[in-house]
Amino acid sequence: MKIILKIIFIFIPLIIQSQTTIKGMAMIKNSDGKTKGLPGATIYWLDTEVGTTTNDQGWFTISYKPEYKKLIFSYVGYRTDTVIVNEPREVHHFMQEEGKLEEVLVKSKKQKTAVSYLQSANIININEGELLKAACCNLSESFETNPSIDVNFSDALTGTKQIKLLGLTSPYILIAQENIPSVRGASQAYGLTFTPGTWIESIQITKGSGSVVNGYESIAGQINTELKKPLNDDKFFLNAYGSLNGRLELNTHYSQKVSKKWNTSLFVHGNLRDAEIDKNDDNFLDIPLAKQINIMNRWQYTDTKNGFVSFINFRYLKDDKQTGEVDFDPNTHRLTTLKYGSEINTERFDVSTKFGYVFPETPYQSVGFQIAYSRHDQDSYFGLNQYNINHKSLYSNAIFNSILGSTLHKYKTGLSFTHDGYDEFVNTANFGRTENSVGGFFEYSYDNLENFSLIAGLRLDFHNLLGTFLTPRLHIRYVPWEKGVLRASIGRGKRSANIFAENQQLFGSSRVMSILNTNGKVYGLQPEIAWNYGFSFLQGFNLFDKKADFTIDFYSTLFQDQVVVDVDESPQQVLFYNLEGNSHANNLQIQLNYELFKNLDLRLAYKYYDVKTDYKKGTLRKPLQSKHRFFANIGYETTPNFKGGHWRFDYTFNWLGEQRLPFTGTNPTQYQLADYVSSYSLMNAQIAKVFSKNFEIYVGGENFTNFKQENPILSSEDPFGANFDSTIVYAPILGSMYYAGLRFTIN
């Protein structure tokens, strides 16, 4: 008996040992960021015949032995991944969808922000998961967790956020919506706030000159926003947001299948801020009173069998802002010296259509056609300065894609036509003008499918004011060793500066505006021409079995011609003149992304900016631009349960080095500022509780250390005096800000 028991006791552990299994789940993220199990995926141990498939919920069990180390996850349409298993544990793994269309992402865990290893250009892809980290609410606020884009404050009146890439402001970036240039001309100052964040599916940031297909205007880079597509979008989506500073936002989306080939979506956005806030007691609103209604209707036609796809979009926007002194009443004080106030009222209508056809017999050939019309109307005044602009814009582009010999050599060629009609009034001066351009482009791309690819583009444009000119651009990618990618780019950009629309924050000061040149065709000024070149090195590696990647980017922009905005000559003036001498923007960025622990991602970046221009006074650093910046972001997500429920935590830290302030030395002593303002840091954090793939709530804080600029408005007590200036803003005006919101989806 004893012997039998002994035998049983000896054998039980052995039996248990030999029967050890581990459990786990193959998961995917839906387009809306929700998690669900992936049924039918193949799971097996590398170099063995031990394998299984996942059940209806995505769960699997597989036998385990200590010598098994590498678990393979595989499923049609998804990238095959290897997961290291050093001990018996539950294995949850996200499967990465295979690249859709041209977009290729090579990451086993779906990275929210990723630089591709395969594209020739240095393109950073931001998907919806990353956008969820942003506190609120529109495109201008979607870059706060991305170190490549710096978000600045433009002025103390309108509270508008301004973005910079490679040390250059948004006019030097081609900002497009589904490859149609969108934030340009009259919409330059506030255009980014006209795209609600919930409409966005993904954002692609190209550092360096970018493609020639979308035009000649981009200098520092391109930002393209893809909106949610009616075909894939959820049936119903609701997002509500409220912040303690009185901002309310509501987003609803409805999507519907109309017929076999037609799908439609209706996006309705409204926001309102009606609380009068003056925390710094300067008698000026810290942030404007605002209301916006923004409606978009999209139609998508898809006929995959015959190779047709088409989009038609209609959008209407009305945005009203009021700012200035707290007790300013537009009805009685408008354009008087009784009270200082400002109203910016914008109405915009857009219609755009895209059409694509792929030849079914020869799928490497396709044609595309885009046409977009917009009418942008802004009526505004800042104290006694009146500024009205009406911009009618037509953009059209026809593209033909094919190959030269084989799909290793591809090309895109086509023609574009643009028309911009401006009616622009600064007080009583009329700056109306018409710009027309016709251009042809050819872009060749080569990929040896191993370690080398390039894109070489050239376009020729005929422009009624800018003349006839060539725009060459080149991007090269080389893979010297595994997971290492070397990129280089060079290109030229040219544009006419819309000096008032782009710098309209300057109306919020007593500065007198003067244009010093008269021989140019746009405001008497020459167009801006710049060359941009850059190098980038990306190395992916594994550190303690966790994925990491390291990037060094260096980009330089050299201006051949520039419209210099000079606020340093005198605190009572702003001068616009053609560059005489040199102007450059150099940027070095070093970035590390690391999965510190399972589900805990760390992103660190250091940025160096050397932005200098030859002003009338001499060579000066660009005002309100830090030389050094440091960025850190930590994101943590708990492992989703079977309903997809989980927690999400996110923390962002920004450190800004000292900034040069515009010259104020000739002002009376009380209105003089230091030459430099010292460094400071800002912190944001967000916590989200996802209950299921249909419902989540989030709370967060922006700038929760409550750092703010004490006196953002010079001479705020005498707004019609000679020293009034609301444009010298180097830090947040509003202190800490807390918010909460919810997202509800019906698939």
Binding site for another protein (CB under 8 A): 41-42, 44, 46-47, 49, 72, 74-80, 98, 361-364, 400, 403, 405-408, 413, 415, 438, 440, 449, 462
Strand, helix or coil at 444?
strand
**Least distance CB 77 / another protein (angstroms):** 7
Which lies closer to another protein via its Cβ, residue 346 or residue 437? Answer: 437
Q: Is 551 exposed, middle or buried (0-12, 13-18, 19+ CB in 10 A)?
A: buried
Which lies closer to another protein via its Cβ, residue 52 or residue 63? Answer: 52
- Token pair of 351 as six digits: 């219609």
Closest C-alpha among 314, 125, 132, 54 to residue 689: 132
Which lies closer to another protein via its Cβ, residue 326 or residue 438? Answer: 438
Which lies closer to another protein via its Cβ, residue 361 or residue 482? Answer: 361
CA distances to 135, 146, 292, 652 from 131, rounded to whole Å, are 9, 10, 21, 13
Which lies closer to another protein via its Cβ, residue 405 or residue 618? Answer: 405
Closest C-alpha among 570, 555, 564, 608 to residue 582: 564
CA–CA separation, 488 and 478 (whole Å): 9
| Amino acid identity at 358 | V
Closest C-alpha among 216, 212, 220 to residue 411: 212
Tell me, letter by letter, the H, E, C secondary structure of 218-255: CCCEEEEEEECCCCCCCCEEEEEEEECCCEEEEEEEEE
**Least distance CB 437 / another protein (angstroms):** 10
**Least distance CB 44 / another protein (angstroms):** 8
Cα Rg of the chain, angstroms: 28
Which lies closer to another protein via its Cβ, residue 467 or residue 668? Answer: 467
CA–CA separation, 353 and 394 (whole Å): 12
Q: What is the dihedral of CA 32, 35, 37, 43, to 10 degrees?
A: 100
Which lies closer to another protein via its Cβ, residue 158 or residue 370? Answer: 370
Which lies closer to another protein via its Cβ, residue 415 or residue 486? Answer: 415
CA distances to 101, 244, 498, 644 from 741, rounded to whole Å, are 33, 12, 37, 19
Which lies closer to another protein via its Cβ, residue 101 or residue 429? Answer: 101
Paired residues of 126 in beta bridges: 113, 203
Closest C-alpha among 206, 232, 229, 231 to residue 219: 206
**Least distance CB 470 / another protein (angstroms):** 13
Query: Do the strands 221-227 and 173-177 form a parallel or antiparallel pair, or are they unpaired?
Result: parallel
What kind and span of H or E run contains 557? strand 546-561
**Least distance CB 451 / another protein (angstroms):** 13
Give the DSSP letter string of 149-182: EEEEE--TTT--EEEEETTEEGGGEEEEETTEE-
**Least distance CB 80 / another protein (angstroms):** 5
- Token pair of 417 as six digits: 């036509």
Give the DSSP letter string of 605-653: EEEEEEEEEEETTEEEEPTT-BSEEEEEEEEEEPPP-TT--EEEEEEEE
Which lies closer to another protein via its Cβ, residue 72 or residue 426? Answer: 72
Which residue do the tokens 């109405």 mark? Answer: 347
CA–CA separation, 7 and 3 (whole Å): 6
Which lies closer to another protein via its Cβ, residue 73 or residue 698? Answer: 73
CA distances to 103, 155, 346, 474, 725 from 160, rounded to whole Å, are 32, 7, 14, 34, 16
Q: Are 223 and 176 in contact (CB under 8 A)?
A: yes
**Least distance CB 408 / another protein (angstroms):** 7
Q: Are 344 and 380 in contact (CB under 8 A)?
A: yes
Which lies closer to another protein via its Cβ, residue 362 or residue 427? Answer: 362
**Least distance CB 75 / another protein (angstroms):** 7
**Least distance CB 82 / another protein (angstroms):** 9
Give the DSSP letter string of 334-401: TTSSSS-EEEEEEEEEEEEEEEEEE-SSSTT-EEEEEEEEEEEEEEEEETTEEEEEEEEEEEEEEEEE
Closest C-alpha among 286, 202, 363 to residue 711: 286
* Residue count (the chain): 747
CA–CA separation, 75 and 78 (whole Å): 5
590: CB partners within 8 A, 6+ apart? 550, 551, 552, 553, 605, 606
Q: How far is CA 712 from the centre of its chain?
A: 27
Which lies closer to another protein via its Cβ, residue 97 or residue 379? Answer: 97
